[in-house]
């Protein structure tokens, strides 16, 4: 028998799925007996496969990496300014957050986040109704991508975000034993794949689990299959997406591990913005409620371990104006829809037996990357935010005085163009350079003065995560300055 909850026989046995709800447990058991899974289970030496599983490396501290680097390199100069009598807080924060000064010594620069858009081709044709990714030809091959990973991983391995298009159409170049994920994991990188999940067969699910993939971000916008198919622009696509998700769940159970975690990207449009409670209830019904192998009384920490955390992404792109929620829909979302989702989450924790004082709010657990207005500080009230959001401006009021995090991240497009972040890689202002002609850090250094020009209009189209991390960095820099000023009084 297999340890840590998988509990299957070495050959031909059935996984027990002990940490799933009864209805979904039965669904997964039925799928694992199907003609897709059973021959594979019979053929594979599960004990050997489990022994070969690579654990995902730890994810670097994206929230604090930029501020830590800037404080280390600029701190002595700022402390000297304070000793010389400078007390203007904004001036000192600007000096502490100055990337040009921080990298002037030519020393090693961390790349904490590395986005790789490995293809702009997709397995869905027609594409999802809200897709706004401009197409580009792919000019980098597997050796090129591996060279980028090698460069980025020294001295500190980054969090690697593989996306597209649909990256899984590249097959073993992504998920094979000699593919990008396995190569990055061996370098110490935590790796995420952003996917529609429709190409995840049982074999691919087992393979991605074996090589140590940390996370999958799967696009899922609502719980209604009919509406979801309409958003995906093809009948039956929702069933394909869910089949891929269920295959990952079965693979994890067979191998007795918790990776890759499954997160959900939900694009908010006028057609699904009020459907969040139904989507959340569906995700809670199919999620693994706590980590594999955990036993005894359920704690809030076990229940909020990250499975099916969701990221709500307001629909972007000028061509999608027809899909934007209205002012009234945004107001209703925050007045009724989000509180209804919160109530479902609290009831779920209570039903699982989590003590009342141990229950976590949705915004800080499964929805940590979710609510566009609640997740960050906006310099406006909700009414103004809803008005701007209806016009497609979701983050303008939350942008910090400058971008502090872009200096330690990079986003590469299939043709080799390098941008600061994923938001810039979608709207595509002038790139920092091309990795076929210069190194990642060389391109960053050559453009470091441009960080003083941020935020730009491109930043207002952020999907949100970079904005959240940047607010954390700005707060950390200001707190450090205030501490030093206090010590000097």
Tens-place pLDDT, residues 195-214 = 999 999 999 999 999 999 99
Structure confidence at residue 461 as a pLDDT band (50, 70, 90):
low
β-pair partners for 418: 412, 433
Rama region for 460: left / alpha / beta (φ>0; ψ in -120 to 50; rest): alpha
What is the CATH topology of the domain spanning 54-60+108-398?
Answer: TIM Barrel (3.20.20)
Residue-wise pLDDT for 288-311, tens only, equals 888 877 777 878 878 877 889 988
2: pLDDT strictly greater than 60: no
Phi and psi of 215, rounded to 5°?
Answer: -155, 150
Structure confidence at residue 363 as a pLDDT band (50, 70, 90):
confident
Output the furthest CA–CA distance in the chain (Å, rounded).
76
Give me the mean pLDDT over the 450-470 stretch.
81
* Residue-level pLDDT at 5: 34
Name the residue among 384, 241, 364 with its Cα closest to residue 303: 364
User: Is 160 within 8 Å of 149 (Cβ atoms)?
Assistant: yes
Q: How far apart are CA 216 and CA 79, in angstroms?
A: 43
Lowest mean pLDDT among 51-55, 200-204, 225-229, 350-354: 350-354
Q: Residue 262, CB half-sphere, CA atoms under 13 Å: how many? A: 30
Name the residue among 297, 220, 306, 288 with its Cα closest to residue 250: 288
How many Cβ atoms are within 10 Å of 171's Cβ, its own excluded? 12
Q: How far apart are CA 217 and CA 205, in angstroms?
A: 14
Structure confidence at residue 463 as a pLDDT band (50, 70, 90):
low
Residue-wise pLDDT for 5-39, tens only, equals 333 433 445 678 998 999 999 999 999 999 999 99
Name the residue among 226, 264, 229 with its Cα closest to residue 368: 264
* Residue-level pLDDT at 61: 87
Q: How far apart are CA 29 and CA 19, in angstroms?
A: 13
* Residue-level pLDDT at 298: 79
* Token pair for 238: 């929702």
* Token pair for 204: 């691919």
Can you say whether the dihedral through the CA atoms of 17, 23, 28, 32 is positive or negative?
positive
Residue-wise pLDDT for 69-103, tens only, equals 999 999 999 999 999 999 999 999 999 999 999 99
User: Is 89 within 8 Å of 482 (Cβ atoms)?
Assistant: yes
* Residue-level pLDDT at 3: 30
User: Is 309 within 8 Å of 335 (Cβ atoms)?
Assistant: no
160: pLDDT strictly greater than 80: yes
Which H, E and C letters describe the chain, residue by residue?
A: CCCCCCCCCCCCCCCCCCCCCHHHHHHHHHHHCCCCCHHHHHHCCHHHHHHCCCCCCCCCCHHHHHHHHHHHHHHHHHHHHHHCCCCCHHHHHHHHCCHHHHCCCCCCCCCCEEEEECCCCCCCCCCCCCCCCCCCCCCCCHHHHHHHHHHHCCCCCCEEEEECCCHHHHCHHHHCCCCHHHHHHHCCCCEEEEECCCCCCHHHHHHHHHCCCCEEEEECCCCCHHHHHHHHCCCCHHHHHHHHHHHHHHHHHHHCCCCCEEEEEEEECCCCHHHHHHHHHHHHHHCCCCCCCCCCCCCHHHHCCCCCCEEEEECCCHHHHHHCCCHHHHHHHHHHHHHHHHHHHHHHHHHCCCCHHHCCCHHHCCCCCCCCCCCCCCCCCHHHHHHHHHCCCCCHHHCCCCCCCHHHEEEECCCCEEECCHHHHHHCCCCCEECCCCCHHHHHHHCHHHHHHCCCHHHHHCCCHHHHHHHHHHHHHHHHHHHHHHHHC
Residues in Cβ contact with 155 at an 8 Å cutoff, skipping those fewer than 6 apart: 108, 110
Name the residue among 345, 334, 215 with its Cα closest to residue 268: 334
Q: Mean pLDDT highest for which of 12-16, 299-303, 368-372, 394-398?
A: 394-398
* Residue-level pLDDT at 260: 97
* Residue-level pLDDT at 14: 66
Burial annotation 149-159 (CB, 10 A radius, 16+ → b, else e): bebbbeebbbb
Q: How far apart are CA 127 and CA 328, in angstroms?
A: 28
Q: How far apart are CA 251 and CA 28, in angstroms?
A: 11
Phi and psi of 393, rounded to 5°?
Answer: -105, 105
């Amino acid at each position: 028998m297999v340890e840590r909850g998988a509990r299957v026989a070495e050959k031909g046995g059935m996984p027990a799925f002990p940490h799933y709800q009864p209805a979904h447990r039965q669904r997964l058991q039925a799928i694992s007996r199907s003609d897709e899974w059973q021959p594979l289970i019979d053929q594979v030496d599960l004990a050997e496969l489990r022994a070969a599983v690579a654990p995902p490396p730890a994810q670097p501290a994206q929230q604090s990496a930029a501020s830590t680097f800037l404080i280390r390199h600029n701190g002595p100069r700022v402390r000297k300014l304070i000793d010389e009598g400078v007390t203007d807080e904004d001036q000192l924060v600007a000096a502490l957050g100055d990337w040009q000064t921080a990298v002037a010594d030519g020393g090693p620069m961390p790349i904490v986040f590395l986005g790789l858009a490995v293809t702009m081709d997709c397995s869905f044709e027609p594409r999802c109704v809200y897709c706004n990714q401009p197409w580009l030809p792919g000019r980098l091959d597997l050796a090129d991508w591996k060279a980028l990973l090698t460069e980025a991983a020294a001295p500190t391995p980054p969090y690697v975000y593989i996306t597209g298009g649909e990256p899984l159409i590249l097959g073993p170049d992504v998920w094979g034993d000699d593919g990008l994920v396995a190569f990055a994991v061996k370098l110490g990188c935590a790796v995420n794949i952003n996917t529609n999940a429709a190409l995840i067969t049982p074999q691919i699910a087992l393979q991605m689990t074996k090589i140590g993939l940390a996370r999958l971000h799967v696009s899922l916008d609502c719980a209604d299959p009919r509406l979801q198919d309409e958003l995906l622009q093809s009948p039956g696509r929702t069933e394909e997406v869910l089949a891929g998700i269920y295959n990952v769940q079965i693979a994890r159970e067979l191998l007795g591990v918790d990776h890759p975690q499954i997160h959900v990207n939900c694009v908010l449009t006028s057609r699904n913005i009020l459907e969040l409670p139904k989507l959340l209830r569906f995700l809670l019904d199919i999620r693994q409620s706590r980590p594999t192998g955990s036993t005894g009384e359920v704690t809030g920490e076990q229940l909020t371990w990250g499975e099916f955390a969701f990221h709500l992404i307001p629909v972007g792109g000028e061509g999608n104006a027809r899909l934007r929620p209205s002012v009234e829909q945004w107001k209703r979302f925050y007045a009724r829809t989000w509180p209804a989702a919160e109530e479902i989450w609290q009831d779920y924790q209570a039903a699982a037996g989590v003590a009342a004082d141990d229950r976590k709010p949705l915004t800080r657990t499964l929805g940590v990357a979710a609510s566009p207005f609640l997740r960050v500080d906006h310099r406006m009230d909700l009414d103004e935010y809803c008005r701007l959001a209806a016009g497609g401006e979701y983050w303008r009021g939350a942008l910090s005085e400058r971008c502090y995090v872009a200096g330690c991240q990079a986003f590469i497009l299939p043709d080799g163009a390098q941008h600061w972040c994923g938001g810039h890689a979608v709207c595509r202002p002038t790139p920092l350079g091309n990795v076929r002609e210069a190194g990642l850090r060389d391109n960053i250094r050559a453009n470091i003065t441009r960080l003083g020009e941020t935020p730009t209009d491109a930043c207002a189209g952020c999907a949100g995560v970079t904005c959240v991390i940047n607010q954390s960095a700005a707060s950390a820099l200001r707190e450090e300055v205030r501490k030093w000023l206090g010590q000097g009084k």
